[in-house]
Structures are given as C-alpha cells and as structure tokens.
Structure 1
Amino acid sequence: MAATSETHRPLKVLVLFERSQLAQETGAAIHLAPNCHSILRRLGIFPESFGANPVNGITEYTPEGKLKFDIDLRKALSIWQQPWMLSHRVQLHEDLKRKATSPDGAGIPAVLKTSSIVKDVDPNTATVTWEDGSSFSGDLVLGADGVSSVTRKIVVGPEIVPFGSGKSAFRFLIPHEQILKNPITQKLAERQGYMTMWIGDDRRLVMYPCSDNTMMNFVGIHPSELSASKGEGWNRGVAKEVLLDVYKSFGPLVQALLEMTDVSALKVWTLLDMDRIPRWYKGRVALLGDAAHPFLPHQGQGGGIAMEDAASLSALLPRGTTAEDVPDRLALYEKIRDGRAHKVQSLTRLAGLDLNDASRGTFNIMDFMYYNFGHDEWHNSTRALKEHLWARNGPVRSRAPLSFGPSPSPRQDHYGRPIPANDSRFTTYSIRFRSSATYLKTLFPTPEFSFSSPGTVAEASFRCTELSNMGWLGGGGYKYLGLWIHGVQYTCKDGSKVHGSLLVVLLESLADPIITGREELGMPKLFCDIDITSKEGGSTRIECSWRGAQFLRMHLDGLKEEVAGDKVEAKEEVPNGTTPTGPPGPPKPEEQGTLIYRYIPAVGKPGEADAAYPVLIREGSGSSSIPRVVEKTCRSQDSRLEFQEGDWQSLPTLHHIAAGLAEIPVFSVVEAKVEEGRGVDDLASAERIE
C-alpha cells in the first residue's frame, strides 16, 4: 500500500503490487465462514453472485465407509448473521479485484501493478524496492505477501520462518455431474451443499462443493513422506498413482472417487506452520494474512482470518487518516489482531491432530465454531479505534448516565414514607427487533457482560412509556424511551451468572425522575424531548429530539386492538434442552430482570470511578406492591425505526449516543405493540449484583 508522502495530508492512494501476472489463479475452493462473509458483504461483495454456495450439512465416515454422523446444518447455522459459504478462489479473487479497482465505488480506485517481485522494503521510509532495481515510496506498506513473505523478514527478522507440519495435502476438483452419474458415488452428490469427510488415524479426505454446486473440491491431508518428491514449491504436480496409494486402505466409495481425478489438475502442497511472531509491524510496514500467521487448513479459516486482518486495517485507517497517525494505528492493529488470530491458529492445530495422537484430548467442534464464527472484526476494530481516540489526550472523564445527586423518588417522599401509586397509569409503545450481536456486544459496559447464547444475531427492543397520575410527581407524569438488549448474562467473580435484558440507555423528558433513577438505581438516564403523536386509523409516531434536533423515531402503523380469543402468531422457539446450533445443550436461561451498570466517576481523577458495579432490577417486586395490569393491547402491522446521527452542533451532549444508536443494524421486527394499563412499579427491588 502507498499513499501521499505529505504527512499532514490524508492517506488516499492505494497501490497494489502483485508478484504474479494474474494470468492463471491457483487454488481451488475457499471457506467463507460467517466471520469473513459479513466483511465481504460490508464491502459490497456478495458471494452468491459469483457462484458461492451455502454449507447445508456435514457427513463423516470412517475410512472403510461406515457412517459416523450426518448433520443437517441449515437450522443450526441460522443463528449466524451471514451463512457459511463455499467459493472457488478464482471467482472470489476476481470479484475482490473488480471491487478494489472499479471507479464505481466510494473513494479513489486502487491501482494494480502485476509482475512486481519485491527485493527489499525499508520500514523507515515505506519504500519498496523491486528485483529490477526500481522502487516506490509511500506512507505505509502492508505486507500481504504470503507464507514466504519478504516483508516478514523485515518486520521480525530472519529467525522466524515457516516449517513443515509433517503433513501435506492433495487438492483437485471433480465435476459434480461426473460424481452424480457414477452409480457407486451417486449418493454423495444427491444433496447439495454437503461437506463429506473420511477421517483416518493419520490421513483424511474432505470433499465439498463450490461454483454453485457444480464442482466438488477435494483436500486429501496425509503424512508428507507419502507424497514426497524432488519437486519444489507448494503447488507441485503429482502422479495419480501416489494419490491412490496413500488412500488404498480407504473403502470402495473413496476409490471410485479418486479414480475420477484428472491427473493434469492434481496438485500437492506441504502444509506449513510457523511460530508466533513477536510483532506485527515495524516503522511503517505491517503484516497481514499468511505473512503474519500461516494457517493449516483444518478449520477453513486461513482466508477468513486474513480478511479479518484487512477489515481491521480498513476500520483503523478510515478516510481522513494522516500519515502521522500511522504508527499509533499500527500498534493498535497489532494489539487487536494478535490474540484472536493466534488463538484461531492454535484451535486449527488441535482440529488437525491425528485421531491416534495422545495429545488430541477432548475435541468439541461446536466450541471452536462458536469462537470462530461469532466475531465481526469491523465492529471490533471500529470500537477499538473510538476508545483509542477518546483516550489519546490522556485519561478521559468517563461519565455514564448515572451520577446526579439524590432527590425525592417514586420509592419515598422527602420524609422517607412510601407514596401511594394506586392510580398511576402507563402507555407503553415497543418495537422488538433482530440485530447484529457483534455490534450490540460493543455496547456492553464491561467484558463481564456477554450473550447467553452463541450466534451473531440477537434481539433488542426500543420501548417508550408515557406515565400519568404519578403520586410522587403530584399527579403529573413524564415519558421515557430506552434500548434493551435481550438474552444478556453477567458473569460474577465466582463464576455464577445473572441473566436479564441489559438497559443500555434511558432517555427521559423530565429532570426529576432522571436524577433519582440515576442516583438510587444507577440507571443510564439522560434528558431529551419525547413527542408522541397518534392519528386516526391506528398510527403512532414517537420522536426523540434535543432543542428541535431529532435523532430517533419510532413508527407503529396499522395498530389493531387485540381482543380476547385473538390468535397471536408466536415466533419460533428453540426446543428446551437444545441450543440454536442443533446438538443437545442447556435450555435458554430464564431472564431474572433488567441488568444495568452503575458508574460514578471519581472527582479530580479522570478515568477512575468511585463506584462501578452491575445492578439487577427484578420488575414487579417493588416495595409499593402495586401490580401492573394491562387493560388494552394493540399490535402494529407495520412498524419501523429511524435514526439520525446529527452532529456536535445540533446534539452537543447527545451526539455520541445518537451516533451509536444510528449504527444499530435492524434486520427485522419481531414484535411491535402498544399496551395501556394501571400500576407502575417503584423499582425498589434494584440490587447490587456484586
């Protein structure tokens, strides 16, 4: 990568130097798991448009052909924001190249230069020198030059080099139609989107589709000495007899498949591993992909983790980044990526251990999948950059919506006596929706908060309540609107967990309840104007604004009153005793109430807190003992949420929150309704968790 050489001007020109002529792309198929598929879609790359097909199931046999398991994954994989797909590498590379160099996208198109063989890189001047003696200088060099990386030697020295893992892999393609027409192998091609494996003690054969299920990709992993030859390189040709000999102990089904191999396309490559690098950058040169962490193929995550590296750099170097920002951003990149990339690398090694390896231990593929798939590096790095920018001028004065002084409250009058609330009334407008779990996780106040179930799709709600006849307000009322994230757990120091819906922020239209709710309960309250407009025909609009600057709207249209006997469509529930991924597991935990996080900043000590701890509010168990009675329910047939980020001038004290809300993806509405009734809980049951 190269950009303008003037350090105070933004980086803007991307030049891609490719060693080959791109005349013939090597490789066969590649896994596009949910963690990298979401990155591609964010870039406007849609794998299904170039023939990628989803994984529908996995079948495993013993070498002799005895079935070990056959799993339909279509329902299990629905918990992920994007499907697990299989693509031909050439088709993926072509679309990536098209997107990078096209003038139709945002920004300046990348410049691609082929036949550029690197001889040396100067990390201090960001200068690349080619074999012909020519050179190119910029502000930043990204070394994505593979397992035999030249830039790696510049960054970490010549001591860390790839080494043979003891295994090699055959790879080849067979047309799906050819397998389907053979009576012996026909059953392997009848179901589309299935990955099939034959696992032996020290060798395995994996088959899966690509190119819109028209080609079957094969990977045959085996001890390297069985296919060793005098040839050099990672992409060597090999005789078909060698392939057949390696798998001669496998059953007739495998033999029939291997006989179909086109020897002209049969390749073998040594599976290389490498020790963990001590750093990811030096000066103005950084590593990514196999240059930083060559992967064994056992989880299909090598390409995916490289895409995560690229997404991280893209998020950390947005438009407006200057050359003088580069060193800090590269340090942040290393901090973000080192742990995850090498953990997935370590899990991959475990997945590839032989069945008869004494160190294999207990292997749980679902645990691996949850970790690998349940991550979105764009959201992760974007959040990390925000925190970096917040803190770069020294400790920030953190101020959660919690720290106003005490005042009379719903729980007592100014003498400490309970306040009658028999006549209090409420009208609650709510929209519950499905969203990105990987984004919602960035709103969790501490790492101890997490989702109770795996997946990259979660549910959240915006709820607005209008209160009236409140005794502690002299019969008056107010409005509040908040964001609740459902299915959240807090892990205590002793390992126990508290389950509930996390209240991220609560916007209220009156100062008094804001003050008491923040002080006595630790609730994340802030002020804004809330306007509720209802029209004839069953339509309600709710607007949040600050001095006329609107930033959030809820629309509930087609409201229809629910009467006794009405059938309400119930959303699909996961059976008790199973997880959303299919295999047996624990039931979904029952929510115990609303989770919040109380934070009181320390005076005169920026970045420190006098109080910081989680709180649980068990609704319906307050000291007032006033039951909440719903007298009328209307359900919306058409609802939506609208966000407007605003700016520091229009929303000087709320812009950070408005911007965060505007980033929330809304996949679909689960439920939208209006409830009217009497009885308002005083929330006196709020308790400190630890």
Structure 2
Amino acid sequence: MAEKPLQVLIVGAGIGGLMAAVGLRREGHEVTLFERSELAEEVGAALHLAPNAHGLLRHFGIFPETFGANPVHGFTEYNQDGTPRLDIRMTELLKIWEHKWVLTHRVRLHNELKRVATSDEGSGPPAVLHKSSKVAEVDPENATITLESGAKYSGDLIIGADGISSVTRKVVTGDDIRPFSSGKSAFRFLVPHEQIRANLETEHLAAREGYVTIWYGNDRRLVMYPCNDNTMMNFVAIHPAELSASRGEGWNRGTSKETLLETYREFGPVVRALLDMTDVGSLKVWSLLDMAHIPTWFKGRVVLLGDAAHPFLPHQGQGGGVALEDAASLAALLPRGTTADQVPERLPLYEKCRDERAHRIQEFTRIAGADLNDENRAKFNIMEFTRYNYGHDEWYASKHSLRTYLSSKSPTILRQPLSFGPHVSPRQTHHGHPFDSRHTTFATHSVRFRTSATYLRTLFPTASFRFSAPGTVAEATFMCTQLDKLGWLGGGGYNFFGLWIHGVEYVKKTGGTVSGSFLPILFESLADPIVTGREELGMPKVFCDIDVTKTRDSTAISCSWRGTRFISMTLEGLKDEDAANGDKGLGKVPGPQEDGLITYRYIPTVGQRGVADAEYPVFIGSDGSTTERVVERRLRGETGRVDIQTGDEKSLPTLHHIAAGLAEIPIYGVLDVRTEEGRGVEDLSQARKLE
C-alpha cells in the first residue's frame, strides 16, 4: 500500500514557516503556505546564523555562503565614548563547532528558503505558496483555516508560523498570552562597506572582515556587522522605546534621521560619523516585544513555531536560529510514512523537544540585553550561553526523541540472550582459570575520523555520559579485528567490527568521572563470544558475518547478514610504518587521555516492557590486563572509506535499526588509517561495574 503524505497547512511564510516547508517537503508531505503579505520585499536587514542554525540549513541542502553570507571572525566592543572594551579574534575559538557562525542578509536567506521550498527541483512535492492570504479563523480540531476572502482549506496539521502578532497563538493559548513591550526599540539600517572605508574617521572599522562591533551606553547600544559578502554593514541601534515612539507596529515603521542622531548624541565622534551615513529612506524602527512562557505549544491539530511561540529580543542573534530549530524538529518528528492518526501524538513530543530549550535561550537573551547597571548583568556568562546555544543539533536531538518514543510503544524490547543455567565461562578452563592468550594472534584494521559530536551524543545511553571537551566536533574509529589461536575457542578465532567514540566521560553519582572510549555497538562473527561478552562483560554485541579481504597494499572489510552487506570499509595505500612515515600522508593522531573502554549493560525484565532487571555502566580499564599486547607489524594507509547501507525490516530484520543509526554518522575527515598485526590478546577479566 502506497504511503499517503500528510497535508500540512502553514500559516506564515517567514523564515520559520519556509524552513518547515523545506523539511516537510523532503519527507514527502504536501505543504501549503498562507502568507498575509505580497512578499514583495521580505522585511528585515541581516541576521546571525550561529552554528546551531547554520548546521540545520546545510542538512536541508541550503548553503548560506552561496547567497552572500560571511563568517564571523571576531568581536570588537567599545564604550559609548569610543574607548575599547574588548577585541578578540574568534577564528580559533569557533573551530570547536561543527559549523561556522555566519552573517547573512535576511532577504537573501528568505528568498533561498522560498526557492528550495517551492521549486520543482529537489525531493518531495513542491510546497504551494498563497500570498495576500490572511487567515481569519482556525479550527484546531478539524485542521481547517478560513481566509478573509472566505476560502477554506483543510489538512492533517496546521503550523502557526505567523510571527509575533499570531492568529494561531490565540487559538492555542487564548487571549491571556500576549506580547508586551520590553521597554526597548531598535533602529535598523544598512550602510555600504565602501562608504565606511572611504571615511577617514570610520575606515578602521572596515579594515577587518567578519567582525561584529558593539558600542555600549548604559541603556542603549549600537551593533554593527557585515553581510552580503562583506559589501554591506548592518546596523541595529537598541534604545529606550520612548525615545523613538511613533505609531504603528512591526518592522517597517519609518522614523527620522534626526531622531536617530539625537538618541545617540552622547556617543563618540566615530558613532556620529557612522550614523551620518544613514539613508533615511531605508531607516526603520521596530518595537522590541517580549512575551511570557506559553503554557502549551499545540491544541488539537494546530502547533506553534518561531515567534508565534516565543518572540525573541535580538541580543544574542538567536531568534531566527531557534525558529529554524523548531522547523527542523517538526520535520524530524513527522518523517515520511507518518499517518494523519499519528499527528496528535507527535505534537506533545514536539513540545517536549522544544519548550525548555527555546525558553532557556530566550531567558539568556533577556539577560544579555540588560542595561549595564542592571543587577541581572552579573548572571551573564558568555561561555555558558555559547556552549548551550551552539552545542546542539535539533535534527539529531528530535530524531533521537522520536526513536525513543517509538521504542517505548513498540512490542519489541531491548534484550540480550538469556542464561540456560549455571556454567563455567567458556573464556576460562573448566577449573576456572584463564587461558594462556600470549600466543593468540590479532590483525586490527581501523579508520579514525572526525564527526558530529551532536549526533554521537544521541548514542549515549544515559545523560551521565558526555564528551570531555566542548564543541560539536568529535573523533571516532571504526575498527575490525581478526583473532586466531584462541585457547577458549579450541585454537580457532573470529572477527569483530565496532565503533569506538573517543573522548567520553561518565559522571558518577558522586560527581567523579571516568574517561575513555565509549563502545555503542560490536558486531561479531561467532555466537560463543557474543553470548559470553553480553552476559559476563555487558558489551553490546550482535551477530553478523565479517569478511576481510587483503591485497598487497589494501584491505577490504565487509559486514553482512545472510548475504545482505550493510557495512563496507576499505583501507588503501597501506605501507609498513617506516615507509609510510616518509610520506606526507596521514600522521600519528594523538588521542585524548583515556583510562579505558566504557560500555553499558542492559538486561530487560521479563514481562515488563521497558523495565530493566539491571542496567549500569561497565568499565574495562587499560590497567589490569593479564596479557601483554605485542605489535609485530604496523601499516599506515593513505586513504580509508566507510560505506554503510541501512537495509530494511526484510533484508536486515534484526539489524536494520543499528545500520540506520550508523549510516547517519557523518565523516568530516579521515584522521588515521592503519593495520596492526601481532600477538597477545587480553581476556577482559578486568571489566568492572562502575556503579
């Protein structure tokens, strides 16, 4: 039976609404947008796309650098008289984030979102955009909207992305939640970069590209940053609202140049020279509105997004970014194949994914915008805010939430093989002594790479796991090992293949930490080590066939199940280490200081789905090994590739969920390709329950 796409109605075709259209279209749903304006000129000047927002755009095939966005390179701050407060180059600091922090013209971003949402190009049916279509009524139970023209449209879901003056919000929350003045307004305008360069008083401000510059007075500030490939400077001048009070609301209220100059008359000569460049025809002022925390994000089949749910003050440049996160979350929670009957149960999950984060960033923004003499300024910790704001990927987070939710509803459970009665471990002799493993041989083939920390976090089993360093980039290794001459297997051997996530910490209940590599999955080609490894070591082992094919200078590894190959890894250009060190290829990659290997044991309770008989972290320390590992040959490779196919419920009935999770891991760059051969394999008897 063919999948029936959802019929999604989006009220509002701003940045958040169009992003939702882009994401839902890619999932195969049929999207219709209703915009009250003609969109002849989408309002706004420029905006920040911090790493958390920039990464979501790239996930959906939107690359801001192609329409004039330029990266942030640094910050400069001055007091209102022009004396310096701060000058910092951010290039190195920003490298810990997976995606760049870029500055873009709002209209260009809006136009690209509109193109991607409505173009015949791309996957899924193009979204349909109705302009000059003001919504008059919304029926949340029947997912029906009525336009002022009288036209009615019905669907499976209505997304309220209609901004701060939202019609849909009134339907969801009632009239009690309304925007209110923050006490501040903002002038906004653009000045050509060349005009600033041509003025002797201001030319130094344009000497370095990609700098955000702020002048602070106690109750007002002027923010300047570049956009449009550094050809224009965007200005936001935040000030007490009564100083520019005028009739009307929204972004496009006009004002006078005299009002602007008077508001900043006590600022230094450089600021006055900049403000003199303002083109009064493009000078606008808008009231900065705030709003209380909404009690719910949805009602019936209506759900809120962006400013309709949480209007932002501009002090952290996160308003647009959080709206993009909302949109990405909805697309992640309503994947292809979602039925109309499933929509109501996904909306509480969306609220759970977004409510705490959106409103926490909103509160950060209020603190960042406080006047200099406000006691709340003492709460302003820029590093805390930055780590929270940027160290998140909503697509990965919401996909993980959906998987967890679906797992809780599924008749399938997490399970390990049950014991069939007491028996001495086959890893030991019948007298309970360890086998002599000094002569066991190994050949280990590995590809170490840089990847997304935000995605890898979704593989952590509990919130007690974390990366030891901040940032959205991490390192991991796919590794295959061939074992032979194992005493506890009658002199035979087997192969295993797994994922090692480096730089992980487990935080104990006492507050202490243990660091190591975390092992979320280990495929093995023989039942006996799987059974004992899961029961006795708590390791996440599953079966598959693992084949290793070697040539003179390459190795190919294949993981398959009954003929269906789902992992292929190749190491090419292998040379003995002495020869490889003479090349300009990949060098030795120092890893973080780690104490050992961390896994997580889970044993389900029989007859009580979702309840564990036992679950706890397991630590296998690097100290305490009973057998010395001796590397007799090391080869270094020039290139390494990993290809993972997800399979499906028919071709990989017990493994497709694991393959799908591994396939989502992005590889940003290969750091190390190697093969190590030798003898001596530890029996892992040093494995211990952490707590």
Coarse TM-score class (shorter-chain normalised): over 0.9
Structure 1 residues 439 and 309, CA gap change in structure 2 (3 angstroms): same
Structure 1 residues 255 and 169, CA gap change in structure 2 (3 angstroms): same
Instruction: Give the CA deviation at 1:510.
Output: 1.5
Tell me whether 1:444 sits opposite 2:445 in the alignment: no
Question: Which residue is 2:483 aligned to?
Answer: 467
Query: Which secondary structure state, in structure 1, belongs to the residue aligned with residue 376 of structure 2?
Result: coil
Structure 1 residues 233 and 547, CA gap change in structure 2 (3 angstroms): closer
Q: Return the alpha-carbon distance in structure 2 between the equivalents of residues 337 and 400 of structure 1.
A: 34
Please point out which of 614, 619, 623 is paired with 2:617. Answer: 614
Question: Which residue is 1:3 aligned to?
Answer: 7
Contact 2:8 2:31 in 1 (8 A): no
Contact 1:29 1:210 in 2 (8 A): yes
Contact 2:446 2:478 in 1 (8 A): yes
Instruction: Give the CA deviation at 1:473.
Output: 2.1
Instruction: Give the CA deviation at 1:346.
Output: 1.1
Structure 1 residues 405 and 681, CA gap change in structure 2 (3 angstroms): farther
Please point out which of 535, 548, 556 is paired with 1:541. Answer: 556
Question: Which residue is 2:575 aligned to?
Answer: 560
Instruction: Give the CA deviation at 1:559.
Output: 0.3
Please point out which of 601, 612, 632 is paired with 1:598. Answer: 601
Question: Which residue is 2:17 aligned to?
Answer: none
Question: Which residue is 2:30 aligned to?
Answer: 13
Question: Which residue is 2:19 aligned to?
Answer: none
Structure 1 residues 82 and 233, CA gap change in structure 2 (3 angstroms): closer
Contact 2:36 2:133 in 1 (8 A): yes
Please point out which of 310, 319, 335 is paired with 1:302. Answer: 319
Query: Which secondary structure state, in structure 1, belongs to the residue aligned with residue 606 of structure 2?
Result: coil
Please point out which of 454, 458, 461 is paired with 2:474. Answer: 458
After the TM superposition, which residues 642-661 of structure 1 pair with which residues of structure 2 at under 5 Å, given as runs? 642-661=643-662
Question: Which residue is 1:361 aligned to?
Answer: 378
Instruction: Give the CA deviation at 1:533.
Output: 0.6
Unaligned runs of 5+ in 2: 10-26
Question: Which residue is 1:582 aligned to?
Answer: none
Question: Which residue is 1:581 aligned to?
Answer: none
Tell me whether 1:507 sits opposite 2:523 in the alignment: yes
Q: Return the alpha-carbon distance in structure 2 between the equivalents of residues 615 and 631 of structure 1.
A: 30
Structure 1 residues 401 and 40, CA gap change in structure 2 (3 angstroms): farther
The one-letter code of the counterpart of 2:535 is: E
Please point out which of 413, 438, 443 is paired with 1:397. Answer: 413
What is the CA deviation profile of residues 366-410 of structure 1, one whole-angstrom value per residue up to 9, with x for unaligned ones?
Answer: 21111111111111111222222222357x522268989776557
Instruction: Give the CA deviation at 1:224.
Output: 1.1
Contact 1:172 1:261 in 2 (8 A): yes
Question: Which residue is 2:497 aligned to?
Answer: 481
The one-letter code of the counterpart of 2:356 is: G
Question: Which residue is 2:15 aligned to?
Answer: none
Question: Which residue is 2:243 aligned to?
Answer: 226
The one-letter code of the counterpart of 2:122 is: G
What is the CA deviation profile of residues 624-664 of structure 1, one whole-angstrom value per residue up to 9, with x for unaligned ones?
Answer: 2x211111110011210011111222222212111211121
Q: Return the alpha-carbon distance in structure 2 between the equivalents of residues 70 and 170 of structure 1.
A: 25
Aligned residues: 668
Question: Which residue is 2:304 aligned to?
Answer: 287
Question: Which residue is 1:264 aligned to?
Answer: 281
What is the CA deviation profile of residues 151-184 of structure 1, one whole-angstrom value per residue up to 9, with x for unaligned ones?
Answer: 1001100010000011111111000000011111
Tell me whether 1:550 sits opposite 2:551 in the alignment: no
- TM-score, normalising length: structure 1: 0.93
The one-letter code of the counterpart of 1:541 is: A
Query: Which secondary structure state, in structure 2, belongs to the residue aligned with residue 493 of structure 1?
Result: coil
The one-letter code of the counterpart of 1:366 is: M
Unaligned runs of 5+ in 1: 574-587
Tell me whether 1:56 sits opposite 2:73 in the alignment: yes
Q: Return the alpha-carbon distance in structure 1 between the equivalents of residues 68 and 272 of structure 2.
A: 28
Q: Return the alpha-carbon distance in structure 1 between the equivalents of residues 346 and 420 of structure 2.
A: 36
Q: Return the alpha-carbon distance in structure 2 between the equivalents of residues 11 and 464 of structure 1.
A: 37
Query: Which secondary structure state, in structure 1, belongs to the residue aligned with residue 529 of structure 2?
Result: helix
Identical pairs, percent: 61
Please point out which of 101, 104, 109 is paired with 1:84. Answer: 101
Tell me whether 1:523 sits opposite 2:526 in the alignment: no
What is the CA deviation profile of residues 202-238 of structure 1, one whole-angstrom value per residue up to 9, with x for unaligned ones?
Answer: 1111100001110000111111122223455443111
Query: Which secondary structure state, in structure 1, belongs to the residue aligned with residue 395 of structure 2?
Result: helix
What is the CA deviation profile of residues 508-529 of structure 1, one whole-angstrom value per residue up to 9, with x for unaligned ones?
Answer: 1122221221122111111111
Q: Return the alpha-carbon distance in structure 2 between the equivalents of residues 621 and 340 of structure 1.
A: 43
Q: Return the alpha-carbon distance in structure 2 between the equivalents of residues 655 and 77 of structure 1.
A: 36
What is the CA deviation profile of residues 120-171 of structure 1, one whole-angstrom value per residue up to 9, with x for unaligned ones?
Answer: 1111121212223332222211110000101100110001000001111111
Q: Return the alpha-carbon distance in structure 1 between the equivalents of residues 489 and 601 of structure 2.
A: 25
Question: Which residue is 1:672 aligned to?
Answer: 673
Q: Return the alpha-carbon distance in structure 2 between the equivalents of residues 146 and 62 of structure 1.
A: 34
The one-letter code of the counterpart of 2:472 is: T
What is the CA deviation profile of residues 447-493 of structure 1, one whole-angstrom value per residue up to 9, with x for unaligned ones?
Answer: 11111112221111111111122222232221111111111111111
Q: Return the alpha-carbon distance in structure 1 between the equivalents of residues 201 and 416 of structure 2.
A: 66
What is the CA deviation profile of residues 86-135 of structure 1, one whole-angstrom value per residue up to 9, with x for unaligned ones?
Answer: 11111111111111111111111111111111211111121212223332
Instruction: Give the CA deviation at 1:71.
Output: 1.5
The one-letter code of the counterpart of 2:578 is: V
Q: Return the alpha-carbon distance in structure 1 between the equivalents of residues 451 and 132 of structure 2.
A: 44
Q: Return the alpha-carbon distance in structure 1 between the equivalents of residues 247 and 580 of structure 2.
A: 79
Please point out which of 97, 121, 130 is paired with 1:104. Answer: 121
Question: Which residue is 2:234 aligned to?
Answer: 217
Question: Which residue is 1:627 aligned to?
Answer: 628
Instruction: Give the CA deviation at 1:572.
Output: 8.3
Q: Return the alpha-carbon distance in structure 2 between the equivalents of residues 366 and 609 of structure 1.
A: 38
Contact 2:425 2:432 in 1 (8 A): no
Contact 2:417 2:531 in 1 (8 A): no
Contact 1:411 1:684 in 2 (8 A): no
Contact 1:55 1:85 in 2 (8 A): yes
Contact 1:401 1:524 in 2 (8 A): no
Tell me whether 1:491 sits opposite 2:495 in the alignment: no
Contact 2:577 2:634 in 1 (8 A): yes
The one-letter code of the counterpart of 1:666 is: I
Please point out which of 152, 172, 178 is paired with 2:189. Answer: 172
Structure 1 residues 12 and 654, CA gap change in structure 2 (3 angstroms): closer
The one-letter code of the counterpart of 2:541 is: K
The one-letter code of the counterpart of 1:600 is: I
The one-letter code of the counterpart of 2:600 is: Y
Question: Which residue is 1:333 aligned to?
Answer: 350
What is the CA deviation profile of residues 224-276 of structure 1, one whole-angstrom value per residue up to 9, with x for unaligned ones?
Answer: 12222345544311111221122122211111111111111111111100001
Q: CA RMSD in A?
A: 2.1
Q: Return the alpha-carbon distance in structure 2 between the equivalents of residues 515 and 654 of structure 1.
A: 17
Instruction: Give the CA deviation at 1:620.
Output: 4.6
Q: Return the alpha-carbon distance in structure 1 between the equivalents of residues 619 and 579 of structure 2.
A: 34
- TM-score, normalising length: structure 2: 0.93
Q: Return the alpha-carbon distance in structure 1 between the equivalents of residues 166 and 42 of structure 2.
A: 19
Query: Which secondary structure state, in structure 2, belongs to the residue aligned with residue 641 of structure 1?
Result: strand
Q: Return the alpha-carbon distance in structure 1 between the equivalents of residues 358 and 621 of structure 2.
A: 40
Instruction: Give the CA deviation at 1:4.
Output: 8.4
Question: Which residue is 1:580 aligned to?
Answer: none
